[in-house]
């Protein structure tokens, strides 16, 4: 159960990063928002596939 919750949190982080990415594409500075979106995406991927 704990592992499923951990994967759900990781997926939520990646989803939040993707939301920032796609919202940032229509903003005035898409490069900045792309870099900002990489932070939660990276944290989510590392926490999902990192060491146990």
Q: State how far the Cα of 18 lies from the Cα of 25, in Å rounded to an integer.
A: 11
The confidence score (pLDDT) of residue 23 equals 95
How many domains is the chain built from?
Answer: 1
pLDDT digits (tens, 9 = 90+) for 32-43: 999 999 999 999
pLDDT in tens, the chain (52 residues): 889 999 999 999 999 999 999 999 999 999 999 999 999 999 999 999 987 7
1 within a domain of the structure (yes/no): no
18 within a domain of the structure (yes/no): yes
45 within a domain of the structure (yes/no): yes
Q: pTM of the prediction? A: 0.87
The range of the structural domain enclosing residue 32 comes to 6-49
The confidence score (pLDDT) of residue 51 equals 79
Question: How remote is the C-alpha of 19 from its chain's centroid?
Answer: 8
């Amino acid at each position: 159960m704990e592992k499923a919750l951990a994967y759900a949190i990781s997926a939520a982080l990646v989803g939040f990063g993707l939301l920032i990415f796609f919202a940032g594409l229509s903003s005035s500075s898409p490069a900045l928002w792309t870099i900002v979106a990489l932070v939660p995406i990276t944290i989510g991927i590392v926490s999902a596939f990192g060491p146990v």
